Amino acid sequence: MFSKKYLFFIIFSFGLIFLTPLPVGAVTKKTNYQDFTAWYQKKFKLKSVPYRAAALFDAKTLQPLYFYQENRITPAASLIKLVTAGTVLKYKPNWTKPVNFTAEENFNLLQQYVEPGDKYSHLLLEGDETITFEQGFATMLIASTNNVAAAMPRWLGTSREEFIKEMRLTATDWGLKNTTIVEPSGLSLDNTSTAYDMALAACGAFTEPQISKYSSKPFISYNLSSGREKLIRHTVHDLRRYPQRYFGAKTGYLTETKYHISAGLYTPQGRKVCGAVLSVEKQTESERIMNSLATWADQMYKWK
Give me the number of domains the chain comprises.
1
Q: Distance (Å, rounded) from C-alpha 92 to C-alpha 212? A: 16
In a domain, 16, yes or no: no
**pTM for this one?**
0.90
In a domain, 177, yes or no: yes
In a domain, 19, yes or no: no
Q: Domain of 85? A: 26-303
DSSP class per residue in 138-203:
HHHHHH--HHHHHHHHHHHTS-HHHHHHHHHHHHHHTT-TT-B-S-SSS-STT-EE-HHHHHHHHH
Which stretch of DSSP H or E encloses residue 53?
A: strand 53-58
Res. 114 pLDDT band, cuts 50 70 90: confident
In a domain, 214, yes or no: yes
Least confident interval from 17-26, 125-134, 151-160: 17-26
Mean pLDDT estimate for the chain: 92
In a domain, 10, yes or no: no
The better pLDDT of the pair 119, 21 is held by 119
In a domain, 94, yes or no: yes
> What pLDDT digit, counting tens, does each position of 4-19 carry?
444 444 444 444 443 4
Cβ neighbours of residue 257 under 8 Å, at least 6 residues apart? 74, 75, 77, 278, 279
In a domain, 263, yes or no: yes
In a domain, 141, yes or no: yes
> What pLDDT digit, counting tens, does each position of 44-54 carry?
999 999 999 99
Question: The domain that contains 273 carries what CATH number?
Answer: 3.40.710.10
